Chains A and B, each alone.
Chain A
Amino acid sequence: MASADKLINTDVPEKDVFALHFLRSLSNLRTQNPLNSPDKSIDRVRKIKKAAYVSMARAAGGNSRLWSRALLRRAAKDDNKSVRFSRRKRKVTWKISSKRRRSNQRAPVVEEAAERLRNLVPGGGGMETSKLMEETAHYIKCLSMQVKVMQCLVDGLSQK
């Protein structure tokens, strides 16, 4: 990325890309655990919700965006909860230390609002403010695509 003319791209794929990923993810939910039928509704909901976020991150470009990368890492970490040695090793993250990040501070009132935003956007904690805003724009677009896809599915299933 050249420093002089940074291209800020917040384009997202078409809705059908999101739909395809989500549908695939949903259908996999049932084939993954044939012995373990998730009868408890709360488990079902949790799995569907996770499938929604993971498939959204994949549709959005997987590892090519910071937020989707962070989301997928978080999801993978959840799956590997039983791995114990991860506690001893100091994991290498690509978070910028807050000291370095602060070198690009904007007005304090903006930074305050940005801090709240950091907690909402996956991976936001390590992002410098302008990068955070770019990632946020992309994240919002993808989230609303995902919501549209899910709404369509709900509508299709509720048809009389």
Chain B
Amino acid sequence: MSSRRSSRSRQSGSSRISDDQISDLVSKLQHLIPELRRRRSDKVSASKVLQETCNYIRNLHREVDDLSDRLSELLASTDDNSAEAAIIRSLLNY
């Protein structure tokens, strides 16, 4: 199977991630989440960022669900609403 991944976690004392890098990651996450991107101030706490991240991920999962649903319907439909749609369907073997 695949090799063990880096043993950073085992050497808990010697190879800590610095707090700087943590806050860098937090701000990276903050930047990615639409909700928090508007509030450009650094007043957003790390736990708030993580919380919003959870919500954002759940929303994205839900979107994937919805889009899968719609795709399934659209691919199976036989309405010839446009040439483009027909082409896409035939490319995908439907």
Chain B, 2-23, contact with A by CB distance < 8 Å: what is the 0/1 string? Answer: 1011101111101111000110
The distance in angstroms between the C-alpha atoms of A130 and B56, with both chains bound, is 19
- A-side interface residues toward B, CB under 8 Å? 1, 3, 6, 8, 10, 23, 26-27, 29-31, 41, 44-45, 48-49, 52-53, 63, 66, 69, 92, 94, 96, 100-101, 103-104, 106-107, 109-110, 112-114, 116-117, 120-121, 128-130, 133-134, 136-137, 139-141, 143-144, 146-147, 150-151, 153-154, 156-160
Nearest B residue to A102 by beta-carbon distance? B12
The 4 closest A-B pairs by CB, nearest first: A3-B15, A113-B50, A30-B93, A103-B12
The distance in angstroms between the C-alpha atoms of A136 and B28, with both chains bound, is 10
Which residues 39-75 of B have a CB within 8 angstroms of A?
A: 46-47, 50-51, 53-54, 56-58, 60-61, 63-65, 67-75
- 15 inter-chain pairs at a CB distance below 8 angstroms, sorted by A residue, are A26-B75, A26-B92, A45-B68, A48-B68, A69-B2, A96-B9, A110-B46, A133-B29, A133-B50, A140-B29, A150-B71, A156-B88, A157-B88, A159-B81, A160-B81
State the Cβ distance, B56 to closest chain A Cβ, in Å.
7
Partner of A106 from the list B22, B63, B75 (CB cut-off 8 Å) is B22
A141 x B32 contact (CB < 8 A):
yes
Given A10-B28, A49-B65, A128-B9, also A27-B22 (CB < 8 A)? no
Further contacts, 17 of them, CB under 8 A, given A41-B72, A107-B46, A157-B71: A3-B15, A8-B24, A26-B75, A29-B93, A52-B68, A94-B4, A116-B50, A130-B17, A137-B25, A137-B32, A140-B33, A140-B56, A140-B57, A143-B60, A156-B85, A159-B81, A159-B85
